[in-house]
């Protein structure tokens, strides 16, 4: 089942060359096999305070794992599901005004 996720990523600056290499490999593979990877909804943006980024994607669990496998071990990820407030309100039987 596809869901929206906020993806927070981070890497150690000392590994920047290896991170760039992995990013290039990822984009080449994603071009050939787009179904393997998350669909970007909000492209990656860097966060202030270090080598951290955020992006919003639509993905299955398997697509998130493929992303993580492709970019390991130099990039760490946190995948946070995003739910519409109205859907959560309905699920937990309260209203959002």
DSSP codes of every residue in 9-30:
EEE-GGGHHHHHHHHHHHHHHH
pTM of the model: 0.83
Tell me what pLDDT residue 50 has.
83
- pLDDT, tens digit only, all 97 positions of the chain: 899 999 999 999 999 999 999 999 999 999 999 999 999 999 999 999 889 999 999 999 999 999 999 999 999 999 999 988 887 777 776 555 5
Bridge partners of 41, per DSSP, are: none
**Which residues have a Cβ under 8 Å from the Cβ of 78 and sit 6 or more positions away?**
7, 8, 9
Tell me what pLDDT residue 88 has.
72
Report the alpha-carbon distance of residue 76 to residue 10 in Å, rounded. 5
Question: What dihedral do alpha carbons 47, 54, 17, 13 form, nearest 10°?
Answer: 40
Bridge partners of 53, per DSSP, are: 9, 46
Tell me what pLDDT residue 49 has.
81
């Amino acid at each position: 089942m596809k869901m929206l996720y906020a993806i927070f990523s981070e890497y150690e600056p000392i590994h920047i060359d290896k991170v760039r290499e992995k990013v290039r490999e990822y984009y080449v593979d994603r071009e050939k096999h787009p179904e393997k990877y998350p669909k970007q909804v909000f492209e990656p943006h860097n966060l202030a305070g270090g080598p951290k980024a955020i992006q919003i994607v639509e993905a299955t669990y398997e697509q998130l794992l493929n992303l993580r496998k492709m970019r390991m071990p130099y990039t760490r990820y946190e995948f946070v599901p995003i739910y519409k407030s109205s859907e959560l309100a309905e699920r937990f039987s309260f209203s959002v005004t």
